[in-house]
Amino acid sequence: MSNIYGYVRVSTKDQKEDRQIIGMSSLGVEQGNIFADKQSGRDFNRPNYQKLLKKLKKDDTLVIKSIDRLGRNYTEIIEQWRVITKVKQVNIVVLDMPLLDTRKKDDGLTGTFIADMVLQILSYVAQLEREFINVRQAEGIKAARARGVEFGRKPIEIPQDFLRVRYLYEKNEISAREAGRLLGVNYKTFQKWLHCG
């Protein structure tokens, strides 16, 4: 008997997976068959995804919200698609893209051939878009720097009371933590100031 599974990934701990799960339940995916990871797309070593891959059997169906749930870039998406559809012989349904549905169609054609072609194109476009975003971001940063915009936090100014507190610290009358507390900073900032002057 074949089963229907769902895979959900959100990039941050604050994001909610509710929207992805609601779409899956409408296709009959039971709550116990939904695997979820809360990790950045930069780290593809996702434990629940790996558990799901081991559980998938021939003729099962995997439901995902969008193709980027399968990987970080074109190569990873295509490879995971190949493993799932060809090696494991599992159907995939992508909620955001109805053309990406490898289940058999009523007209006798398998959805796999069409889905594979669409996936190649969409994955390629997604990869290009990510690269364009990176280029645009780098150009934006460069332009902002040319206008004099400074990035990062401004350094904390050393308080007027620093020399007195430093004197107490160097005479071993207070600890670095106490010195930081007296100056309103953490002890690491205090120690950094010690080495600056």
* Residues classed as catalytic: 11
The size of the chain, in residues, is 197
- Number of Cβ within 10 Å of residue 172's Cβ equals 7
Cα separation, 103 vs 91, in Å, equals: 6
Amino acid type, 161: D
CA–CA–CA angle 150, 155, 159 (5° rounding): 145
Cα separation, 34 vs 160, in Å, equals: 58
